[in-house]
Amino acid sequence: MIQLNRLGYQYAKKEPILKEISIEFSAGKIYGLLGKNGAGKSTLIKNMTGMLFPTKGSCMVNGFIPGNREVDFLKKLFFVPEEYYLPNISIRQLIKVYPKFYPNFNSQQFKGYLDTFDIPLSKKTSQLSLGQKKKVMIGFALSTNTDVLIMDEPTNGLDIPSKIIFRNMIKEAFREDRIVIITSHQVRDLDELIDTILIMDNGKILFNETKENIARKWQFDLSPTPHLHTDAIYEEKVSNGYASISENKSHEAGYVDIELLFNAVLANQLVAVN
């Protein structure tokens, strides 16, 4: 479990980037941490990984204080940053060196991911494109089989077919004892993958709810004309008509339009179910 208690972060004499965030992340869930650029997503996950230290409140990850960077903490967490460095070695050499830090690393699993992405083991990382490097990082991350997996904007640099492969890989590698947190400002990239939606803006968590509860509480509609529902909570013009959110009176789970939900929350028109 990851527990944040009134967590805050700011650079000296500057406005706070994170503002007293209190939230829990439980095993068995894939969390989508959504927000515009500059919302504070990367700063939040860097506090959870121990790359930054809270200036207020606390952060605990499976009983560890991330900032202490203890070995038992590090070997059970893998973080894929948005910007990263890969040493100039072949992928075959990478498999020999780096898995030693992760007791549950599965080499055959990693080779399978590389094969799916069509990346040969003989290639040096310097010979790879940005998208190929991202694929190597994603495959390695999943193969560590750590208890906590955090990925910051993992779909950046991936083409559309690779994004589909990425989503399938996440689903296949998911375990009930694992916490997966994925940040993105490209809301649709996480559609049908995440089961809990967190929406962040201006250093705060504005929304925290499971997709199942959202689907039972609200109804998402598309109409050629505005005001399909007179009791619409939120409505906006889209390319092919008018999209709206209204109360789901049947309480039967339906489709969730994450992008529309995101826009409604940022417009202060929608709050979490609970």
Enumerate domains of the chain plus CATH numbers: 2-202 (3.40.50.300), 213-266 (no CATH)
Residue 272 is predicted with a pLDDT of 61
> Tell me, what DSSP letter sits at residue 31?
E
Q: Where are the alpha helices (DSSP H) in 60-156?
A: 71-74, 91-97, 107-116, 130-143
Identity of the highest mean pLDDT range in 9-18, 27-36, 156-165: 27-36
Is the separation of the CB atoms in 181 and 29 below 8 Å? no
Is residue 61 classed as helix, strand or coil in its secondary structure? strand
How is the beta sheet containing 241-247 ordered, strand by strand?
Answer: 218-223, 241-247, 234-238
Region of 187 (left: φ > 0; alpha: ψ -120 to 50; beta: rest) is alpha
Q: Which residues, including other chains, have CB under 8 Å from residue 205's CB and lie 6 or more apart?
A: 21, 23, 198, 199
> b/e string for 81-115 if b means 16 or more Cβ within 10 A?
beeeeeeeebbeebbeeebeebeebbeebbbbbbe
Q: How confident is the model at residue 37 (pLDDT cuts 50, 70, 90)?
A: confident
Q: Rounded to two decimals, what is the model's pTM?
A: 0.92
Residue 240 sits at the vertex; the CA angle it makes with 238 and 242, to the nearest 5 degrees, is 50
- Residue 33's CB is within 10 A of a number of other CB atoms, namely 27
Across 49-53, 55-59, 169-173, 227-231, least confident range: 227-231
Q: Mean pLDDT across the stretch 155-181?
A: 89
Q: Mean pLDDT across the stretch 227-233?
A: 75
Q: Residue 255's beta-bridge partner residues?
A: none
Residue 228 is predicted with a pLDDT of 65
Q: Mean pLDDT across the stretch 148-164?
A: 90
Is the separation of the CB atoms in 203 and 39 below 8 Å? yes
Q: Is the pLDDT of residue 274 over 50?
A: no
- Residue 70's CB is within 10 A of a number of other CB atoms, namely 12
Q: How confident is the model at residue 45 (pLDDT cuts 50, 70, 90)?
A: very high
Place of tokens 């390319």: 239
Q: Where are the alpha helices (DSSP H) in 104-257?
A: 107-116, 130-143, 160-173, 211-217
Residue 229 is predicted with a pLDDT of 64
Place of tokens 């203890």: 70
Q: How confident is the model at residue 131 (pLDDT cuts 50, 70, 90)?
A: confident
Which pLDDT tens digit goes with each residue over 76-96? 999 999 887 888 888 999 888
Q: Is the pLDDT of residue 273 over 60?
A: no
- Nearest alpha carbon to residue 213 among 163, 262, 271: 271
Residue 179 is predicted with a pLDDT of 95
Is the separation of the CB atoms in 203 and 17 below 8 Å? yes
Is the separation of the CB atoms in 244 and 180 below 8 Å? no
